[in-house]
Structure formats: C-alpha cells, structure tokens
Amino acid sequence: MKFEKIAYEIGENIENSIRSLINTERGRKIVKMGADGTPTKYIDYIAEKCIIDYIDDNDLPCELISEEIGRYRRGEKFKIIADPIDGTNNACYGIPFFSVSLAFYKEKTEFAFVKNLTNRDIFKADKHSYLNDKRISTHDSEIISLYTFSDVKPFLDISKKIRNFGSQALELCFVACGRSKAFIDVRNRGRIIDVAAAKYIIEKAGGVFTDINGNDVNMNAKSFSFVASCSNEVQTKIINIIKNKGY
C-alpha cells in the first residue's frame, strides 16, 4: 500500500474542496455535533468527507479515526489517523495557517503527512523527515509555541519569543524543521488526531515528544498535555520548569 500516494491525493482533494469555503459564512456554519462532542462546521464536514469518499472510491481496507466522525471502518489492514483541518478557526476567518494531518498506522506509524493548506508546504516522514522533499532535522531556535491557561513567565527562561499560531500539527512540524525550539501544551487538550502525524515527523527528525513528566504519551487517552522539542537537553529544561511550577 503506497501511503505517500494516498496522502498526497487526499491532501489535494481537501485543498480543492475547501477553497471556496475559507473565510465565508457558509464555511463557518455549524452543521452537526462531532464525535468528540464539539460542533462541526461545514468546512470541517467537507474536508472529512473528502477522506471518507477517497477511502470508499478506492476501496481502502482501513479504519479512519477522525475528528468529526470518530471512527469509520472499511477494513482492518491499516488505520488512518486524521485531522482533516487542523486550525479550523483560522480557516473560517481567513487566517492563513491551517493544515491537514494524516498518520498511517499498522502495528506502528509507517508514514506521516502534514500539508499547509495555505502555502502548500508538505511535511512528511517515513524513515526520515522531509519538508517539500528536502530532508529536515531539529535544531535550536529562539522561538517556542506555548499553550497554557497559566502564567507564561516561567517559560521565558527557555525563550522570550513565544508564539501561538492555532494549528498544532503545523507548529509541531516547525519544531521538526528547526523553525521553533519547542512546542508546549499544558492544558490537557492534546488529542491523537491532532498530533499523531506531527509526533512521528518530529521523532524522525531527531526531536523529542513526551508527556509533561517526560514519559511516553498515552496516545489512547481522551486528552493529554505534552511537550515536543529539538533535543533531550531542551526537553529536560522544559519538564523541570513544569514540575517546579506545578502546571
């Protein structure tokens, strides 16, 4: 099964299908409640429908795990863990930072794909990680992404340049290619659909991805807090800050 081909074609289908819905009332319209109990906007519905239609049209023997539908099973040979639009609110209001995230899983992740749906950058990983077909690796940066309901001051020891862009998959991929030093989310809002692909891309680029105690993330949990960074040294510093400040 050529997971890369599937990912590229799904990404292209989503990009084409949502183009006319970006920054529109129609795209923002709530059409149902998703499997996770949150409202599904029309633009989300159309993006996820692209994946389901592709699975059906190509008779893929897989199970889809996705934000709106929850689970859609057509077979058991592999799983696609998808966030059809990561950064929905950005897409709904014309903020050019949102993506599609796809992880292909058998007994372990075998291929990961994150496409920036605004500038068409493609992050992917198999044995190595790539940005637009050029191999990438993590390295230090002045920038971190931080999501917290608490005081940001303790993290200023790591970086004074804190950003929050609104698409976890893309921001995590920025760690993978060295644009950012780290991504920190201590809100207990991480989900497998948001991070499965980017986690694999970071790890294959030489980065680190753990829970806030430095352990493997329980990806089957309903939600979780987590840290991703460019190195073990940076990861340890961040985790110590979190422990010392009681996040």
For the chain, count helices (H), then strands (E): 7, 15
Whether residue 211 contacts residue 190, with contact meaning beta carbons closer than 8 Å, is answered with: no
Q: Are 88 and 20 members of one domain?
A: yes
What pLDDT is attached to residue 201?
A: 98
Task: State the total domains in the chain.
Answer: 2
Q: Give the tens place of pLDDT for each residue, 23-59.
A: 999 999 999 998 888 899 999 999 999 999 999 999 9
Q: What is the DSSP string of 133-167?
A: TEE------SEEEEE-SS-SGGGGGT-SEEE--S-
Mean pLDDT of the chain: 94
Q: Are 73 and 113 members of one domain?
A: yes
Q: Are 111 and 148 members of one domain?
A: no
Does residue 33 sit within a domain? yes
Judge whether residue 4 has pLDDT over 90.
yes
Q: Give the tens place of pLDDT for each residue, 111-128.
A: 999 999 999 999 999 999
Q: How far apart are CA 207 and CA 177, in angstroms?
A: 10
| pTM of the complete model | 0.95
Q: Which residue type sits at 242? A: I
Question: Which of 177, 187, 179 minimizes the C-alpha distance to 163?
Answer: 179
Q: Are 104 and 52 members of one domain?
A: yes
Judge whether residue 1 has pLDDT over 70.
no
Residue 189's domain comprises: 143-245
